[in-house]
Amino acid sequence: GDYEEILKYYELHETIGTGGFAKVKLARHLLTAEKVAIKIMDKAALGDDLPRVKIEIDAMKNLSHQHICRLYQVIETSKKIFMVLEYCPGGELFDYIISKDRLSEEEARVFFRQIVSAIAYVHGKGYAHRDLKPENLLIDKEHNLKLIDFGLCAKPKGGLDYHLNTCCGSPAYAAPELIQGKAYIGSEADIWSMGVLLYALLCGFLPFDDANVMVTYKKIMLGHIDEDCVTELSVFHKQSRESILELISEWKYDHMSATYFLLQSKKARGKHVCLRVPC
C-alpha cells in the first residue's frame, strides 16, 4: 500500500490539520523518537495542481531559514506524496493570538521581526508566499515562529475565478490589487499581508473583515478613506456618503480631493473635522 514505505520510518498519529488536498498528521520518527508533521497529498485529488506541489517541494529544498518550517524527507508512491516536515508544538499563531486576546508590543515586535526575516529571505530567493496569515505561522518549541505554506486548499467549488475567490481561507490579508484580480507582484502583496498581520498581532482583530466577502473587499479597497471626513463632506454637500465616497475615490485632484485632504490633515492635527458652516 501507499503507507508501506512511510511506516518503515515513522509512527503515524492523529491528524492535526486538513486543507483541501492536503492533510497533516502528527508522527514520530522511529530512530530518533522526534515528533514530525507529515503532509499527505493524494495525487489524483491534486489533478492539475500536482505541478504546484513539485514546485513547492523544490522551493522547500531551496529554503533553509531559522523561521521557515524545515522539510526533512519526501516520499512519493503511485497515489500519494508524503512531505515529512518540522513539527511545531506551539500550534498556530492564530490560536495563540486568540488565547491572549492580543499580544503586547514587546511580543508582537519579536514575532513580527521573525516574520519579516523569513519573508525577506523568501523574496531574496525569488519566491513570494502569497498566503500570509496567522494560520500559516506556527510556534516552535523555543516559542519562535516558523513560516509554512499550507496553501493547497481545494479549488473554489463555485467555479469562481481564482482571484475573485482568493480560495485559500479569508481574503482579509489580501492586497487590493490581488482581490481586484489584477496582475500583481507577489512580493508586494506579501508586504501588504504583513501589515495586516502586524495589525492582527497588536489588536487581536482584523483591520478589514466582514462575514460577507464582498464587504471585506470593499473595506480593503477603501482602507485609507477617513470616515469622519466623508461624513463632513456628505453633510456639507447634502449628498449621500456613497456618492461622496465615489467622488473621493476617483482621486481627480479637483476641489473635492483638496477639501478631503485638508479635512484629513485638520483631523490629524487634532482639530475638529468641520467645514466653514456653523459647526
Ligand X SMILES: COc1cccc(Nc2ncc(-c3ccc(C(=O)NCC(=O)Nc4ccccc4)cc3)c(OCC3CCNCC3)n2)c1
148 counts as binding ligand X under rule CB under 6 A: yes
Site map for ligand X, 13-52, x if CB under 6 A? ---xx-x----x------------x-x-------------
Q: CB 94 → ligand X: shortest distance, Å?
A: 8
Question: CA-to-CA distance for 194 and 180, rounded, in angstroms?
Answer: 19
Spatial distance between the Cα atoms of 12 and 27, rounded to a whole number of angstroms: 4
Binding residue (CB under 6 A) for ligand X from 91, 195, 204, 223: 91
Closer to ligand X by CB, 25 or 247: give it: 25
85 sits near ligand X (criterion: CB under 6 A): yes
Q: Are 72 and 84 in contact (CB under 8 A)?
A: yes
Q: How far apart are CA 160 and CA 187, in angstroms?
A: 24
Phi, psi of 100, rounded to the nearest 5 degrees: -105, 10
Distance from C-alpha of 52 to C-alpha of 15, rounded to nearest angstrom: 23
Look-up of cell digits 502583496:
189
Distance, CA of 241 to CA of 251 (rounded, Å) = 16
Angle at which helices 105-124 and 186-203 cross, to 10°: 170
Which of 23/219 has CB closer to ligand X? 23
Stretch near ligand X under the rule CB under 6 A, chosen from 89-97, 210-218, 231-239, 241-249: 89-97
* Chain position carrying cell 490579508: 173
CB of 83: closest distance to ligand X in angstroms? 6
| Site for ligand X contains 92 (CB under 6 A) | yes
Is residue 58 flagged as an active site residue?
no
> How many residues of this chain interact with ligand X, rule: CB under 6 A?
27
Interface with ligand X by CB under 6 A: which residues?
Answer: 16-17, 19, 24, 37, 39, 56, 59-60, 63, 68-69, 85, 87-89, 91-92, 122, 129, 135-136, 138, 147-150
Catalytic positions, written as ranges: 131
